Structure 1
Amino acid sequence: MKTKITGTGSYIPANIEKNENFHNHEFLNSDGSTINAPSEVIVRKFKAITGIDERRYAKSHLNTSDIASFAAEKAIENAKIDREDLDYIIVAHNYGDVRHDSQQSDTVPSLASRVKHLLRIKNPKCVGYDLLFGCPGWLEGVIQANAFISSGIAKKCLVIGAETLSRVIDPFDRDSMIYSDGAGAVIIEATDGESGIIAHETATYALDEAHFIYFGETNNPEIKDNRRYIKMYGRKIYEFALTNVPVAMKSCLDKSGFNISDVKKVLIHQANEKMDEAIVKRFYELHDMKMPDGIMPMSIGKLGNSSVATIPTLYNMILNGEIEHQDINKGDVIIFASVGAGMNINAIVYKQ
């Protein structure tokens, strides 16, 4: 018996924040010193590295749990299941509900309980819990749902990745332009067919790498408050990801029994266009192959990096024909892969 994704859904916020909207920002180095370049130049270099033209921000009255429930509703409808039959609701996020213009994260009750409430599910045996695992959180939720179903504990699971990163970014940090808001969800069920999750791989590197992504103070030394923002050591993350993610992907593919030539798509966490491309190229180099054209669909250019939401959102968009020149067909072998705070890495080989 395998586990299969039977429904998908996503919520992409309507508010578009374009690169030119950052031209009037004052960007500072991490030590508070002035960056010796106009904001327009900083933004142009940012675009060349990350591939991001614009990103999406949630409207001020919506929280992470709200947009998570919107994506969940679509996934339930797409799967054509009774929501009362769900055994687990797993919500991957990193910062909880951060209300607009608030300095405090709210995680009590859990976002999973809030989503269950918003979905109006009555069944007390439908268990909801949150998963904090950095950007690979949604993928790890899928791995956990697979374990529940494979062991016979569950039959149907809802796995959501949702984030409103626009509320935890430092406006004086140029890295703030990377982040965005969004939500993606899937329904996972048992299947007797050949489709489904074939193999998975997860690793945590914490000896030297635990704090590559962290919560820190604003880059502006004149601001004296207790608020903290998402921060990262970009170069260290790039080197770490390029070294370790392709190896994890190869290990996962080796366990699956499929050949590299069987892989039709690689859906990688939309972190940084140049980094993602380098990771997938290195993965193919490990197989003495050139990266095939069109193997790596991308959404980061228009949607930015919404952390746990990037992969389920991208997957849903491809299935709905919303990514130009990209499709996934029945029987296709796909690799999902992610890297993020922790530092965590995971991958799944999936047969559509």
Structure 2
Amino acid sequence: MNIKITGTGSYIPDDVEKNEDFYQHEFLNADGSAIKHPNEVIVKKFQAITGIAERRYAKEHLNSSDLGFFAAEKAIDDANIDPETIDYIIVAHNFGDVKHNSIQSDLLPSLASRIKHHLRIKNPKCVTYDILFGCPGWVEGVIQANAFIQAGLAKRCLVIGTETLSRVVDQHDRDAMIFADGAGATIIEATHSEGGILAHETASHTYDEAYYLHFGKSNNQELSSDTCYIKMEGRKIYEFALNHVPDAMKSALDASGSNISEVKKIFIHQANEKMDEAILKRFYKLYNTEIPENVMPMSIQKLGNSSVATIPTLFDLVKNNQLENHSLSKGDVVIFASVGAGMNINAIVYKY
């Protein structure tokens, strides 16, 4: 028995927010003071570092659970399964459903329950729950689905990563330009075909690192201090990722029994182009080998950082030949790897 991804689906919102759309923003420093540089300079420097030229925002009437539902429908269709046969629905997110122009997160009921409701699944033994694991949430959801199936507690799971980060960003913070909305979903199940999940690695670093990503007040001191937004310690996160993600990837790859030369694609959480490139460079340095061409597909330039949705969305795009110069063939060894709030890191080695 092998545990494989048998169906994928993604939902990429239609609304495009370009970098030029931020020219009219009032960006401020964390202490509320004015930034000396004009917005055109701020935005140009931002793009040079992150690689982001545009990002996608959800329509005003849609929430995270809606996006996850759309992606789930596609994954179920792609796997050609009866949704009533799904044993678990695991939904990774960070903030629940945050309605447009709202300052409150709605987590009751869980997003997984809402998505099961939208899918009109009647089977009460289809168990639903959410996972809060930062940006690595979808990868961790797949690891949990794998464990359920290995333990004989499930045969088929639906794992979703969905987020509307545009609803929780501080418009006066330059980091607001990083975040985006989207959803990706996968069907994970036991099969008799070759391939599947070969190995995985997970770690949570909380002693000093727990609050590198957190909720904090706006850079605009005149706004209510009771309203909080996503905030991050960018330099600390960058250094943390470089010090830990490559090691997690190596641990998983070594445990899989695969050779570094067999790895065809590495799907890294689309957080920051420069950071992902640095992680890749350090990973291959651990094996004293050169980085192959086209091994790391990237979607951040057009889609921004949609947190838990970045990897499943990217995988779906490559699987369906929708990303230029990237494709997958049967038997390809790939790695999924992520880092995010917590601080959590994880990696999966998977044979396509």
TM-score strictly above 0.5: yes
Deviations 1:174-217 (A, max 9, x none): 00000000000000110223310000000000000000000000
Between the aligned partners of 2:150 and 2:192, the Cα distance in structure 1 is 11
Tell me the matched-pair count. 352
Deviations 1:115-160 (A, max 9, x none): 0000000000000000000000000000000000111110010000
Which amino acid letter does the alignment assign opposite residue 134 of structure 2?
Answer: G
Which amino acid letter does the alignment assign opposite residue 291 of structure 1?
Answer: I
Which amino acid letter does the alignment assign opposite residue 37 of structure 1?
Answer: H
What does 1:126-145 align with in structure 2 at a 5 Å threshold? 126-145=126-145
**What is the match of residue 81 of structure 2?**
81
**What is the match of residue 304 of structure 2?**
304
**What is the match of residue 27 of structure 1?**
27
Asked if the contact 2:149/2:156 (under 8 Å) is kept, the reply is: yes
**What is the match of residue 115 of structure 2?**
115
**What is the match of residue 180 of structure 1?**
180
The Cα of 1:229 is off from its aligned counterpart by 0.3
Deviations 1:62-95 (A, max 9, x none): 0000010000000000000000000000000000
SS of the equivalent of 2:31 reads coil
Which amino acid letter does the alignment assign opposite residue 131 of structure 2?
Answer: L
The Cα of 1:224 is off from its aligned counterpart by 2.3
SS of the equivalent of 1:46 reads helix
What does 1:1-352 align with in structure 2 at a 5 Å threshold? 1-352=1-352
The Cα of 1:28 is off from its aligned counterpart by 0.8
The Cα of 1:26 is off from its aligned counterpart by 1.0
SS of the equivalent of 1:146 reads helix
Between the aligned partners of 2:290 and 2:205, the Cα distance in structure 1 is 28
SS of the equivalent of 1:329 reads coil
The Cα of 1:112 is off from its aligned counterpart by 0.3
Which amino acid letter does the alignment assign opposite residue 117 of structure 2?
Answer: H
SS of the equivalent of 1:208 reads coil
Deviations 1:282-327 (A, max 9, x none): 0000000122221100000000000000000000000111100000
Give the CA RMSD over aligned residues: 0.6
Between the aligned partners of 1:223 and 1:88, the Cα distance in structure 2 is 42
SS of the equivalent of 2:123 reads coil
Which amino acid letter does the alignment assign opposite residue 230 of structure 2?
Answer: I
Asked if the contact 2:218/2:225 (under 8 Å) is kept, the reply is: no
Structure 2: where are the runs of 5+ without partners?
A: none
SS of the equivalent of 1:96 reads coil
The Cα of 1:31 is off from its aligned counterpart by 1.2
Asked if the contact 1:135/1:307 (under 8 Å) is kept, the reply is: yes
The Cα of 1:34 is off from its aligned counterpart by 1.2
Between the aligned partners of 2:291 and 2:342, the Cα distance in structure 1 is 28
Which amino acid letter does the alignment assign opposite residue 181 of structure 2?
Answer: D
Deviations 1:93-118 (A, max 9, x none): 00000000001000000000000000
Which amino acid letter does the alignment assign opposite residue 204 of structure 2?
Answer: T
Between the aligned partners of 1:188 and 1:70, the Cα distance in structure 2 is 17
Between the aligned partners of 1:210 and 1:225, the Cα distance in structure 2 is 22
Q: Tell me which stretches of 4 or more aligned residues in structure 1 moved more than 4 Å.
A: none
Between the aligned partners of 1:2 and 1:248, the Cα distance in structure 2 is 22
Deviations 1:249-290 (A, max 9, x none): 001100000010010000000000000000011000000012
Asked if the contact 1:2/1:150 (under 8 Å) is kept, the reply is: no
SS of the equivalent of 1:159 reads strand
SS of the equivalent of 1:312 reads helix
Between the aligned partners of 1:53 and 1:34, the Cα distance in structure 2 is 24
SS of the equivalent of 1:41 reads helix
SS of the equivalent of 1:9 reads strand
Structure 1: where are the runs of 5+ without partners?
A: none
The Cα of 1:225 is off from its aligned counterpart by 4.4
Which amino acid letter does the alignment assign opposite residue 117 of structure 1?
Answer: H
SS of the equivalent of 1:149 reads helix
TM-score by length of 1: 0.99
TM-score by length of 2: 0.99
SS of the equivalent of 1:240 reads helix
Asked if the contact 2:135/2:338 (under 8 Å) is kept, the reply is: yes
Asked if the contact 1:13/1:181 (under 8 Å) is kept, the reply is: yes
Asked if the contact 1:270/1:298 (under 8 Å) is kept, the reply is: yes
Between the aligned partners of 2:33 and 2:289, the Cα distance in structure 1 is 44
The Cα of 1:226 is off from its aligned counterpart by 1.3
